C-alpha cells in the first residue's frame, strides 16, 4: 500500500511540475514579444525596491489595517508552504514527519509558528471575502471586474481557507494518533500544537482507523491543493505572488513624473527652435519605423511584465481622476486588456507555430480611443499601484500611435499641436509678439 501511495504521489508531482513549467514558459515567451528595453542599471536601488515593495509590501501600508491583513495572508501562505517541503519528501520517500527527529524542539516551534500563521491567513481571507461580497468595496466590484476576474479572487480566498483548515485538521488527528502510539505515528512524538490542539476534542471520540483516514485524506488534499494552486496561478491574478519580485526589480528608477520622450521628436523640436543645429540633408537621421504602439509587439517587455504582474486590486482605478468623474478610462482595465491581448497572441503562436495577423490589435479592439483621451497623465495610477506597475506608460504609447500615425485627435488637440509647431507654445500668438502684453501694461 505504501509503495502504491509513493508511486501515485510521484506521478502527480511530476505532472504538476511539467504543466506549470509549460505554462510558465508560454508566459515568459509572451512577455518577450515586447520590444527590448534596458532595466539593469543601479542594482543596489533595484534590490532595495524588491525588499521594500515586493517583500515588505511598503505601499500596502498606506491603509494600515488592510496592509497588515494582506501581509499576514501573503507572508503566512508563503511561509507555511515551507512545510510543503516536508510533505513532498514524505510523499517521495514514504516517511512521516521526516524533519521531526533531526530538528527536535525546533520542529515543534516551527509547526506552532506555521499554525499561528495559518490561523491568521484564515481570518484575513475571511475578512477579505466579507469586503468583496458583503461590504462590497467599490474598487472590488467595479464594472471592469465583471465575470471571471471577480470570481477568481473569491476562488483563491476560499481555497486558502480550505488549505489552512486541512493543514490544521491533519495536525490535530496526527497528534492524537501519536498519543495513542498507533503504528508509525507513535515513532515521532511532537506533542500538541498551539492551534490544532484546540481542534482535538472534535476527533478524540473516533477510532484510530477513522483518524488515519482523516489524517491521510487531509494530507493528500493539502498537497494536491497546493499543486493545483501552483498550476492555477498562471491563469489567475495571483500570478503577482511570483512576478511582483522581478517587476519591482525592473521598475523605472527615474523620477515618477518624467516622461519617456521620443528622441526623434525631441530633435525635431530642437532643430525647429535652433535651425543651426540641424544636420545637413544627407546626414539627417532616418525617421523611426513607427511612432508609439498599436499592439503588444510595439510595447516593451517591461510593459508586458507589468500586465502579467497586475494584482487587479483596483487601487489605480480608484485613484484615477478621469474614472472618478465618470469617464470610461480604468487603468486596471488597461493592464487586463494588455495581458488578454498577449495571451491571445500567445495562443495563435501555440496553434500555428508563429504569429499570423488576426485582424485585431490592442488599440481600438481592446482599448478604445475614448479611454486613452480621458487620461490626464497625472501619474495617480502609478503612485497607487502596490507592485510598481505603470499603466500610464502603455496609455502614452498607444495615444502616440493614435495621434502621430493615425492623425486621430480631437480638433482642439490639433489646434494646440499646430500652435506648438508654428508658435512654439499652445497659444495662437507669434513668438515675436509673446511679450507684447508687457508693453501694453507699461502704457
CATH number at residue 390: 1.10.1060
Answer yes or no: is 188 within a domain: yes
Are residues 25 and 171 part of one domain?
A: yes
CA–CA distances in Å: residue 25 to residues 28, 42, 347, 375, 409: 5, 28, 13, 34, 39
Q: Provide the percentage of residues in the chain whose pLDDT is more than 90.
A: 47
Answer for the pair 308, 27: CB distance below 8 angstroms, yes or no: yes
Are residues 375 and 227 part of one domain?
A: no
Chain-centroid distance, C-alpha 45: 21
Among 305, 236, 391, 239, residue whose Cα is nearest residue 31 = 305
Are residues 272 and 234 part of one domain?
A: no
Q: What are the residues facing 367 on neighbouring strands?
A: 363
User: Distance (Å, rounded) from C-alpha 443 to C-alpha 431?
Assistant: 21
Answer yes or no: is 196 within a domain: yes
How many independent structural domains does the chain possess? 2
Are residues 304 and 168 part of one domain?
A: no
* Confidence band, pLDDT 50/70/90 cuts, at residue 286: low
Prediction pTM value: 0.85
Are residues 407 and 286 part of one domain?
A: yes
Are residues 270 and 207 part of one domain?
A: no
- Residue 274 is predicted with a pLDDT of 76
Are residues 358 and 245 part of one domain?
A: no
Answer yes or no: is 270 within a domain: yes
Answer yes or no: is 379 within a domain: yes
Answer yes or no: is 152 within a domain: yes
Q: What are phi and psi of 422, to 5 degrees?
A: -95, -35
Answer yes or no: is 258 within a domain: no
Are residues 269 and 225 part of one domain?
A: no
Domain, as residue range, for 130: 2-249
Answer yes or no: is 442 within a domain: no
Please indicate whether residue 191 or residue 210 has the higher confidence score (pLDDT).
Answer: 210
Q: What is the mean pLDDT of the chain?
A: 87
- Residue 124, classified by CB atoms within 10 Å of its CB into exposed (0-12), middle (13-18) or buried (19+), is buried
Answer yes or no: is 255 within a domain: no
Are residues 131 and 233 part of one domain?
A: yes
Are residues 102 and 202 part of one domain?
A: yes
Each residue's pLDDT tens digit, 332-386? 999 999 999 999 999 999 888 888 888 899 999 999 999 999 999 999 999 999 9
Are residues 424 and 324 part of one domain?
A: yes
Last residue of one domain, picked from the residues 189, 217, 249: 249
Are residues 15 and 89 part of one domain?
A: yes
Amino acid at each position: 500500500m505504501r509503495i502504491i501511495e509513493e508511486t501515485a504521489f510521484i506521478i502527480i508531482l511530476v505532472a504538476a511540475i511539467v504543466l506549470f513549467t509549460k505554462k510558465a514558459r508560454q508566459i515568459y515567451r509572451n512577455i518577450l514579444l515586447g520590444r527590448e528595453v534596458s532595466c539593469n542599471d543601479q542594482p543596489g536601488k533595484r534590490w532595495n525596491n524588491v525588499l521594500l515593495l515586493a517583500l515588505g509590501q511598503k505601499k500596502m501600508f498606506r491603509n494600515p489595517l488592510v496592509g497588515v491583513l494582506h501581509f499576514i495572508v501573503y507572508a503566512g501562505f508563503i511561509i507555511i508552504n515551507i512545510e510543503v517541503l516536508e510533505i513532498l519528501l514524505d510523499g517521495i520517500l514514504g516517511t512521516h514527519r521526516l524533519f521531526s527527529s533531526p530538528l527536535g524542539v525546533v520542529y515543534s516551534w516551527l509547526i506552532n509558528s506555521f499554525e499561528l500563521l495559518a490561523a491568521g491567513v484564515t481570518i484575513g481571507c475571511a475578512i477579505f471575502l466579507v469586503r468583496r461580497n458583503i461590504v462590497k468595496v467599490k474598487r472590488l466590484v467595479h464594472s471592469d471586474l465583471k465575470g471571471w476576474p471577480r470570481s477568481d479572487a473569491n476562488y483563491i480566498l476560499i481555497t486558502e481557507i480550505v488549505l489552512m483548515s486541512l493543514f490544521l485538521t491533519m495536525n490535530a488527528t496526527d497528534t492524537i494518533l501519536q498519543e495513542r502510539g498507533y503504528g508509525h505515528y507513535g515513532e515521532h512524538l511532537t506533542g500538541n500544537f498551539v492551534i490544532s490542539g484546540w481542534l482535538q476534542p472534535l476527533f478524540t471520540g473516533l477510532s484510530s482507523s477513522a483518524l488515519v483516514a482523516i489524517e491521510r485524506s487531509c494530507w493528500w488534499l493539502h498537497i494536491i491543493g497546493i499543486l493545483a494552486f501552483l498550476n492555477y496561478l498562471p491563469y489567475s491574478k495571483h500570478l503577482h505572488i511570483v512576478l511582483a519580485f522581478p517587476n519591482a526589480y525592473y521598475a523605472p528608477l527615474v523620477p515618477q513624473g518624467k516622461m519617456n520622450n521620443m528622441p526623434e521628436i525631441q530633435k525635431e523640436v530642437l532643430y525647429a527652435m535652433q535651425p543651426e543645429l540641424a544636420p545637413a540633408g544627407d546626414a539627417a537621421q532616418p525617421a523611426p519605423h513607427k511612432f508609439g504602439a498599436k499592439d503588444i509587439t510595439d510595447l516593451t517587455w517591461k510593459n508586458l511584465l507589468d500586465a502579467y504582474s497586475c494584482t487587479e486590486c483596483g487601487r489605480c482605478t480608484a485613484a484615477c481622476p478621469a474614472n472618478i468623474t465618470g469617464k470610461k478610462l480604468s487603468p486596471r482595465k488597461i493592464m487586463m486588456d494588455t495581458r488578454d491581448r498577449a495571451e491571445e497572441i500567445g495562443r495563435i503562436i501555440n496553434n500555428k507555430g508563429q504569429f499570423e495577423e488576426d485582424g485585431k490589435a490592442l488599440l481600438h479592439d481592446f482599448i478604445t480611443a475614448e479611454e486613452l483621451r480621458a487620461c490626464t497623465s497625472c501619474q495617480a495610477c502609478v503612485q497607487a499601484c502596490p507592485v510598481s506597475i505603470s499603466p500610464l506608460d502603455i496609455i502614452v504609447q498607444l495615444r502616440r500611435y493614435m495621434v502621430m500615425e493615425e492623425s486621430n485627435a480631437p480638433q482642439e488637440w490639433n489646434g494646440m499641436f499646430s500652435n506648438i509647431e508654428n508658435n512654439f507654445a499652445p497659444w495662437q500668438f507669434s513668438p515675436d509678439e509673446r511679450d507684447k502684453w508687457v508693453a501694453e501694461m507699461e502704457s
